[in-house]
A and B are shown apart, each in its own frame.
Chain A
Amino acid sequence: MGPNEMLIDRLNIWQKIGLYIATFLFLLFILMPFIEMLRVSLRPMSHLMTAEFSWWSKDFSLQAYRDMWVTVPLLGRYIFNSVFIALAVTLATMIVVVPGAYAYARLEFPFKALSLGGFLAVNMFTGAVLLIPLYRVLRTLGLLNTYWAMIIPGIAFLIPTGIWLLRSYLEKIPRELEEAAYVDGASRLYTLRRVVIPLATPGLIVVATSVFIGAYAQQFLFAITFNNKREYQPLPAGLFEFVGYQDTTWNEMMAAALTGVLPVLLFFLFLQKYLVAGLTAGAVKE
């Protein structure tokens, strides 16, 4: 903290007020849907549909948070499925990504640049473009309407970014320790397992967190296309059960959505410094 650092950042009172107002408006845009979902979840359905629009009302209650479990009995299962699928995808992706990233960070081999380019080109596709043959592949393998139908495609599309992120992290770790172990007679695999992975733990957390976000955020398409078993459905698909033949119980749907994502949001709250670190690793060229 040099004296310059203090002076260069000094803001006068109007600049501060301006910054706070702008930040408030920006965050309002970002958080508005959640505020509105919370407001809806706290009001009885009859009042939502008939009453004139108003910000505040006296009829706030937690009734929807009780009723939602009755309207959609499998709700707890859906919340669990979402987290379970995302965790399974993350674990499997990491098992594939760690050796791959190590190879690209440390070893020389023919077609290295070309194959890395090939992996990155996968980012140009999403499951949506390849749905038809994917459906057939999964049917051939007998995996339709199982958890695997949502896990396996998820893994494939997260591998390239995972390798890319972890590779740039591994490249920053000094080689000397590995070389020492190798010179001492440890095998390559042993060096990877006992020297590289422990050193790379913060990087692994960063990459796993990014993979988890990808896996958790994008389950809807695979779920509605490859799975029709209700008990395997993740939350984003399961929520549509609140859309009934007659009418939609919006308040319970919002209550269920907020309840469902709350545990994960809290989890991310603890991991947020890794999230930002992961972005730095990916965004800033070494």
Chain B
Amino acid sequence: MQETARTAPIMARSGLSEAAFAWLLISPALLFIGVIVAWPLVETIRLSFTNATLGGEEYVGLANYADLLASPKFYDTVARTFYWMFLSVSLKLVMGLIGATLLNAAIPGKALFRILVMPPWVIPVAIGVIGWKWMYNGYFGLISGLLQEFGLVQDRVALLASKTSAFYSAVVTDVWVGTPMVTLFLLAAMQGVSRDLYEAAWVDGAGRWYRFRRITIPQIMPVIVSMALLSAIWTFHSFEIIWILTEGGPRGATTTLIIDTYKVAISSQRFGEGAARAVVIVALLAVFSLAYLYFLNRVNRHYGAK
């Protein structure tokens, strides 16, 4: 490599300063984010103060927000979204921790098991969800069939047809989509833990469970915590899973904020009202993330990570 550089013809040095060169390098990224994220964000905020539809738009002040605050249904949706997020993220972390521990165990075949855990993560989300939609089906679905086979239910159950079971079915599918990635992240973190720590503890007579609790968990805690934040943000926004399974139904039982926003803004093309909902989502997530980052900082300090 050095050779190439040395024998290369001396290129004219650009007269750019380090700072100008740096800004030049990041400018394409800035341009993309500006046009596709920053400007639409500003525009969303502006639209939220209008009654924009396909026909036109008029400034309406805070009317869209006032409508939201006056609607009991909206509070239900917010509460449901947070419940959906907490339940799904906790389960993903638990499943991911179990999965990573299993895949990290020194048993023959672990290389194969690591590959087998990947498919839900690397295929399009929508395709896995179609598989689940079939399995939840009441007439010929696998889950209903199994429940009958084991005598747990008398008749076939259409899991997506009743409110409670539809909600928890959507949670299970979301956990299924998210588990492989959490598993692989935690597995990578576990493999980064120094073996010396384990060996020292082992020499002192510490058992497996003790080593897991007192070495593995504290060492990977920063990764668990950042994984939890990322999953929380993605789950909060998760659209495809619910949309394909239930489109927010039955009777709103699986309508999270993002589904509500999509229905209002895109399906019924009430852009202004939809934009107000989008702004609420962004604000809630921003507050949540800041609170979380503050917490993350404290956890990192507590566990002595840099």
A residues near B (Cβ < 8 Å) are 4-5, 7-9, 11, 16, 19-20, 22-23, 26-27, 29-34, 36-37, 40, 48-49, 53, 82, 95-97, 99-100, 102-104, 107-110, 112, 115, 118-119, 122-126, 128-137, 152-153, 155-157, 159-160, 163, 177, 180-181, 184-191, 194-195, 198-199, 213, 216-221, 225, 234-237, 239, 250, 253-254, 257, 260-261, 264-265, 268-269, 272, 275-276, 279-280, 282-285
Contact = CB atoms under 8 A, between A and B. Distances in A.
Contacts of A160: 33
A268 B118 contact: yes
Given A102-B25, A254-B131, A280-B192, A129 B237 contact: yes
A128 B5 contact: no
Given A22-B102, A103-B25, A188-B21, A130 B11 contact: no
Contacts of A282: 185
Shortest Cβ-Cβ A-B pairs, 7 listed: A53-B145, A33-B131, A156-B36, A236-B126, A181-B5, A133-B40, A133-B43
Contact of B134 (A19, A37, A128, A136): A37
Given A33-B176, A53-B149, A185 B10 contact: yes
Given A108-B22, A132-B44, A136-B43, 17 more contacts: A26-B98, A30-B116, A32-B142, A33-B132, A124-B286, A125-B237, A129-B44, A177-B5, A180-B2, A187-B12, A187-B14, A195-B5, A216-B122, A218-B124, A225-B266, A250-B134, A280-B192
B6 to A, nearest CB: 5
Given A34-B119, A177-B1, A26 B99 contact: yes
Contacts of A185: 10-11, 13
A130 B188 contact: no
A129 B258 contact: yes
B5 A283 contact: no
A159 B33 contact: yes
Contacts of A136: 43
A9 to B, nearest CB: 4
Q: Per DSSP, are chain A's interface residues mostly helix, strand or loop, or mixed?
A: helix
B197 to A, nearest CB: 11
A134 B36 contact: yes
A189 B21 CA distance: 9
A44 to B, nearest CB: 13
B120 A131 contact: no
Contacts of A118: 33
Contacts of B14: 187-189
Contacts of B189: 283-284
A78 B236 CA distance: 29
Contact of A191 (B5, B239, B265, B274): B5
A237 B226 CA distance: 32
20 contacts: A4-B202, A8-B199, A30-B176, A33-B132, A37-B131, A53-B146, A99-B28, A103-B21, A103-B23, A125-B41, A131-B278, A136-B43, A155-B36, A156-B33, A180-B6, A185-B11, A195-B5, A220-B125, A250-B134, A275-B118
B39 interface: yes
Nearest to A177: B1
Contacts of A180: 2, 5-6
Contacts of B135: 32-33, 36
Nearest to B35: A137
B37 A156 contact: yes
B51 to A, nearest CB: 13
Interface stretch (B59-67, B82-90, B105-113, B158-166): B105-113
B102 A122 contact: no
B74 interface: no
Contacts of B275: 132
